[in-house]
Amino acid sequence: MNASEVHAYLNSFNNFESQLHKLRSEDFNLHRIHKFLDQAGNPSTHLKIIHVAGTKGKGSTCAFLASILQQAGLKVGLYTSPHLHKVNERIRILSPENINSQDPYAGSISDDEIGLIVNFLRPILARIQNDGVLITYFEVLTVVALCYFAKSQVDVVILETGLGGRLDATNAVNSSIAVITSISRDHTRILGDTIGKIAFEKACIIKSTHQNVVIAPQENEAMEVILDRCKEFGVQPIVVNNDKYDGIKIGLKGRHQIINAATAIEVVNILKTKGFNISDGAIKDGLEQVRWPGRFELIRKNPDVIVDCAHNDASAKTLSETLMQEYPKRRVILVLGISQDKDIASICKYLNNNATHIILTRAQHPRSHQFIPEEGKKYFGNKPVEIIDDLPKALEKALKIANPLDVILVTGSVFVVAEAKSYLSIKQC
């Protein structure tokens, strides 16, 4: 198969990511992925895996950790989701060879490598599906990633959960270190309607007496659930004290990123006890040189255009605080597009603290919420609000009304950020 045929084949699988607003917990299980992994030869068997779950900060924590380990001279397999532009971004190998690359997705798996692995997996998938088992898009990508990392003989693998933890495809493999980042309300139809229920789903990546566990600061309800899970397996976790690392310099904006960086450092400290040679210099350079697109990312100047994948109320609150820190006296034009399955009222409540002019829009994605005029006043009071369903037109309007000292903030979903970055990069060429 050529590249387009490979991607068409991948896209033929049931993609839960485009249906999350319709799905419930019973749609998820590990039976499919276990069967697939068994028939694929269990590629994760000899991999040293760090498994990361959480609501906020798990992607940034993975990025910090991978950057540090790369600076230490290690070959690091990194599996994250979703992608912004191309699915290859999800499966990367960070190594000394690409350490100086300016590409934020350096080390992404090539189309040729995906093709080779898919050709190997295709007859296996055919047999499984002939038995009536419908493998999902994310499950296929997870196995592709594990096969690629095993084939490439990476030193360590960092796996970010896609959704939740207990029934996430990444939880079909064993990890030596489990990491729980900040937990808040999100995907409540699937994960539960309380912090405690969501924390339980995330905490289920803790499943062995042999694991080390690192826990980022949590609300009391979440922490209690996670600690109970640790006790169940006789694990003594490390609870991150971000104040201990308050003075560190990092390459991502926002005080919340200090927590994610501190969490990564605690994982590194565990790896040192397991024989990994990671210097203080590697930690310093890794934190400062990390790149993680779509997280309070400045993509254009005069006026400054910031994109941020704030997708729930807790993320919106953090984004609002970061915006106040970085641009305390600037007028903010908000370009906002949100997915249907989100707490739209809470997200708007926090962003209303910053916004002077609001443009409500939507991404070209089936989960995108279509705003109606009544919502403008409901969520933003008497502030000027307009609805422009076409994102490029919404961006053009924001650029037209913005002064050079204004800030245009594009946020609300990964899909909006991805489309905005693509459109504005083409426009500047």
Mapping DSSP onto H, E and C, the string for 149-199 reads HHHHCCCEEEEECCCCCCCCHHHHCCCCEEEECCCCCCCHHHHCCCHHHHH
Q: What angle do CA 13, 147, 107 make, to 5 degrees?
A: 95
What is the number of alpha carbons within 13 Å of residue 384 lying toward its C-beta?
A: 9
What is the number of alpha carbons within 13 Å of residue 328 lying toward its C-beta?
A: 1
At residue 429, the pLDDT reads 46
Q: How far apart are CA 7 and CA 41, in angstroms?
A: 23
Strand partners, 298: 306
Which residue type, as a one-letter code, is found at position 88? N
Per-residue model confidence as pLDDT tens digits over 8-30: 999 999 888 877 767 778 888 99
At residue 188, the pLDDT reads 82
Give the other-Cβ count within 10 Å of 126's Cβ: 10
Pairing mode, if any, of strands 76-79 and 91-94?
A: antiparallel
Sequence-distant (≥ 6) Cβ neighbours of residue 299 within 8 angstroms: 305, 306, 307, 420, 421, 424, 425
SS3 255: coil
At residue 428, the pLDDT reads 60
CA-CA-CA-CA torsion sign (260, 263, 269, 271): negative
CATH 3.30.420.10 fits 3-289, yes or no: no
Q: What angle do CA 378, 382, 387 make, to 5 degrees?
A: 65
Q: How far apart are CA 409 and CA 406, in angstroms?
A: 10
CATH 3.90.190.20 fits 297-428, yes or no: yes
48 Rama sector, left if φ>0, alpha if ψ -120 to 50, beta otherwise: beta
Positions in the chain whose pLDDT score sits under 50: 429
Q: Answer for the pair 55, 198: CB distance below 8 angstroms, yes or no.
A: yes
Q: Answer for the pair 391, 420: CB distance below 8 angstroms, yes or no.
A: yes
Per-residue model confidence as pLDDT tens digits over 210-246: 999 999 999 999 999 999 999 999 999 999 998 999 8
At residue 165, the pLDDT reads 94
Is residue 300 within a helix (H) or strand (E), and if so which, with residue range? strand 297-300
Sequence-distant (≥ 6) Cβ neighbours of residue 17 within 8 angstroms: 81, 82, 137, 138, 162
Cα separations (Å) of 264 from 85, 149, 239, 257, 386?
26, 21, 12, 11, 41
Q: How far apart are CA 179 and CA 58, in angstroms?
A: 9
Written as six digits, the tokens of 71 are 């600076």
Which residue type, as a one-letter code, is found at position 121? L
For the chain, which residues make up each domain, given as ranges? 3-289, 297-428
pTM above 0.85, yes or no: yes
Strand partners, 297: 307
Which residue type, as a one-letter code, is found at position 406? D
